């Protein structure tokens, strides 16, 4: 009776240990992080993490890292009205 239990338990333990593996780039500071000017932080919605804000060269907009309970996502920094905050006009 203990042998089938051990055969079931071993894969579960190995799966749990594999889930503890660090994610590449998950803890290191991302390149391009900038200090957000007061003018930008005053119009940004309050629920966003301004300490991870960066300007993407592709669109000239501010983006921040949202660390949720399931995944980490890059999201555009938005005003309280929902508009993206950019350094140049959108085309």
Per-residue pLDDT of 60-79, as tens digits, reads: 999 999 999 999 999 999 99
Give the whole-angstrom CA distance, residue 35 versus residue 57.
Answer: 16
Q: Which of 64, 46, 45, 47 is nearest to 55 (CA)?
A: 64
Q: Which pLDDT score is estimated for 35?
A: 86
Q: Which pLDDT score is estimated for 38?
A: 93
Q: Which pLDDT score is estimated for 1?
A: 52
Q: Which pLDDT score is estimated for 26?
A: 47
CA distances from 16 to 12, 19, 79 (A): 6, 5, 40
Q: Which of 33, 60, 70 is nearest to 49 (CA)?
A: 33
Residues 75-91 have a mean pLDDT of: 88
pLDDT per residue over 12-39, tens digit each?
676 665 665 554 444 444 566 788 899 9
């Amino acid at each position: 009776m203990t042998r089938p239990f051990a055969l079931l338990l071993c894969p579960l333990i190995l799966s749990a240990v594999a889930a503890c593996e660090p994610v590449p780039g998950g803890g290191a500071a991302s390149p391009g992080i900038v200090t957000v000017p007061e003018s930008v932080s005053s119009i940004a919605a309050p629920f966003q993490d301004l300490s991870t804000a960066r300007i993407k060269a592709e669109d000239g907009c501010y983006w921040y890292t949202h660390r949720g309970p399931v995944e980490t996502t890059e999201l555009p920094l938005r005003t309280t009205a929902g508009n993206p905050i950019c350094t140049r006009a959108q085309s």
